[in-house]
Amino acid sequence: MRVHGRRKALALAVALLTVASACSTSPGDPATTPAAATSGASAPATPSSTVPATAVTPEEAAEVFATFTATDNVLRDGGDLRLAMEYVRDAEARLTTVAYLSTKGEPPRRTWGPPTLYVPRFPAGESSPWFSVLTTRDGHLTMLTFAKSGDWRLGAAARLLTGRPAPDIHLDADGYATAIVPADKSVTISPQYMGPLHATVAEAGADGVAAGLIAAGPYTTDVAAEITAARERAKKNGFSYDSIFSANDNPVYGLRTVDGGAVIQYSLSRTTTTTTKTAEDDYIPVPASARWAISAPVVRRNLKITEVHQYVTDVPPSKTPAAAEVIAHDGALTRASGQ
C-alpha cells in the first residue's frame, strides 16, 4: 500500500473539507451532524441512557463518507488510478478501474448530496464492520456500503431505480440499524442465497427454479428474455452465444427494514461469449462499451465480455411472503477479449 500517497490525498481532502465548511456553508445547507445525517431514516425512539461501545459510530461513519467523497474527486481530477484503488474494494474496485481506463485516465467528477447513514450496531471487537449510506450521487439516489478491513473502503454502490423511494430501514432507540446475518431465516431469501437465486432468474427467467422468489423486471426476467433472443439470433447467423450470471466472493450486506424484511446489497458477474461456428466469412462486432479494451471494431473467431453488476433487493419478511424486488442497480463492462 502506498501509505505516503494515501496520507497526502487524505490531507488534501481534509483541507478541502475544512475550506468548504468555513467558506461555503450557507443557512440553507444541510447540517452535517449525525442526527441530521440520519434524518431521512425512520425516526428512532427516545435514546437509551447508556449506549454500549460499538465498532463504528454514526460520527465515524459520517467522517468516512465525507473524506471519501472529497478524496475521490481529488484523485479523479488527477487521474490517479493507483491511489484511487486504495479507497475501494470488491465490486467497486473493478468498476473504479474501468472508470479510469475507459476514459484514458479522465473519469468524470462526482457530485454528492448529504448522507443518510445506516450504521449497524456491531460489537467493539468486530473485525469487519460496515455501514451503508443513502445519498444522491450525480443527482440520483444511490445506496453505498463502506467496509473496514484495516482501513475503510467503498465496497458497493447501486443507484435506486426510477420512482423507487428510499428503503425504510429500521433504527433502534439509539439510532443504529440492524445487520442481518447471511443465514437469516426471518426473510424470504437469506442473504447468502440472494446472489445465486438472482443469477438463476437472470438466466432462466420466469420458467426457472427460482420463479416467483424474485419479481419480474429489467434486471431479472427481462435480461433472461434478452439472452434467449440473442442466442437465437446468433444461431441463425452462424455463431454460438451464451451469457452466464454467477455469484462471486464479494460480501453480501443486509439491513433490517421496518416491516421485518431486509434490503440486501450484493453483486454478480456476467460473462458473455460469442464464437464463430459456421459464419466463416462474417465477423463478430465489438460493442461500443468494449472499445476501450479492444481497439478493433470486429473480431474474427470469438469475443468474451465480462461485466460486474451491483444490486439492492428489497426482501419481504417470511411471515408475509412475496416476491423480492430489485430496487437499485449499477454495473459496467469490466473486461473484453477476442481474436
Residue 294, domain member (yes or no)? yes
Q: What is the pLDDT of residues 240-268, one digit of tens each?
A: 999 999 999 999 999 999 999 999 999 99
Claim to verify: residue 34 and residue 155 sit in the same structural domain: yes
Claim to verify: residue 153 and residue 199 sit in the same structural domain: no
Is the model's pLDDT at 44 over the cut of 80?
A: no
Claim to verify: residue 200 and residue 281 sit in the same structural domain: yes
Claim to verify: residue 149 and residue 195 sit in the same structural domain: no
Residues 6+ apart with CB under 8 A from 262: 180, 184, 187, 191, 254, 255, 256, 314, 315
Claim to verify: residue 196 and residue 137 sit in the same structural domain: no
Question: CA-to-CA distance for 302 and 298, rounded, in angstroms?
Answer: 10
Claim to verify: residue 294 and residue 155 sit in the same structural domain: no
Residues 6+ apart with CB under 8 A from 57: 34, 119
Contact 39, 69 (CB under 8 A): no
Find the range with the poorest average confidence among 93-107, 146-160, 270-284. 270-284
pLDDT of residue 114: 98
Last residue of a domain, one of 142, 160, 178: 160
Beta strands in the chain (DSSP E): 116-118, 130-137, 140-149, 151-160, 239-247, 253-256, 262-276, 284-285, 298-299, 302-315, 325-338
pLDDT of residue 100: 98
Q: What is the pLDDT of residues 191-228, one digit of tens each?
A: 999 999 999 999 999 887 887 899 999 999 999 999 99
Claim to verify: residue 114 and residue 212 sit in the same structural domain: no
From the list 136, 167, 124, 141, the residue with the least C-alpha distance to 256 is: 167
Beta strands in 56-149 (DSSP E): 116-118, 130-137, 140-149
Claim to verify: residue 204 and residue 139 sit in the same structural domain: no
pLDDT of residue 209: 80
pLDDT of residue 321: 95
Residues 6+ apart with CB under 8 A from 227: 202, 203, 243
Residues 6+ apart with CB under 8 A from 162: none
Contact 158, 308 (CB under 8 A): no
Residue 289, domain member (yes or no)? yes
Find the range with the poorest average confidence among 21-25, 169-173, 208-212. 21-25
Residue 170, domain member (yes or no)? no
User: What number is the average pLDDT over the span 44-62?
Assistant: 75
Residue 209, domain member (yes or no)? yes
Claim to verify: residue 318 and residue 239 sit in the same structural domain: yes
Residue 168, domain member (yes or no)? no
What percent of the chain lies above the pLDDT cut of 90?
Answer: 79
pLDDT of residue 279: 61
Is the model's pLDDT at 91 over the cut of 60?
A: yes
> Could you tell me how far CA 99 lies from the centroid of its own chain?
14
* Tally of domains in the chain: 2
Which of residues 115 and 281 earns the better pLDDT score?
Answer: 115
Residue 49, domain member (yes or no)? yes
Residue 180, domain member (yes or no)? no
pLDDT of residue 339: 87
CB-count burial class (<10 Å; 0-12, 13-18, 19+) for 23: exposed
* pLDDT bucket at 36, cuts 50 / 70 / 90: very low
Question: CA-to-CA distance for 266 and 100, rounded, in angstroms?
Answer: 23
Averaged pLDDT of the chain? 88
Question: CA-to-CA distance for 158 and 268, rounded, in angstroms?
Answer: 12
* pLDDT bucket at 14, cuts 50 / 70 / 90: very low
Claim to verify: residue 152 and residue 197 sit in the same structural domain: no
Is the model's pLDDT at 18 over the cut of 60?
A: no
Residues 6+ apart with CB under 8 A from 208: 200, 201, 224
Q: What is the pLDDT of residues 123-168, one digit of tens each?
A: 998 999 999 999 999 999 999 999 999 999 999 999 999 999 999 9
pLDDT of residue 33: 32
pLDDT of residue 280: 63
Is the model's pLDDT at 39 over the cut of 60?
A: no
Is the model's pLDDT at 15 over the cut of 50?
A: no
Range of the domain at 260: 191-338
Is the model's pLDDT at 184 over the cut of 50?
A: yes
Claim to verify: residue 211 and residue 264 sit in the same structural domain: yes
pLDDT of residue 206: 83
pLDDT of residue 53: 82
Is the model's pLDDT at 319 over the cut of 60?
A: yes
Residue 146, domain member (yes or no)? yes
Claim to verify: residue 152 and residue 281 sit in the same structural domain: no
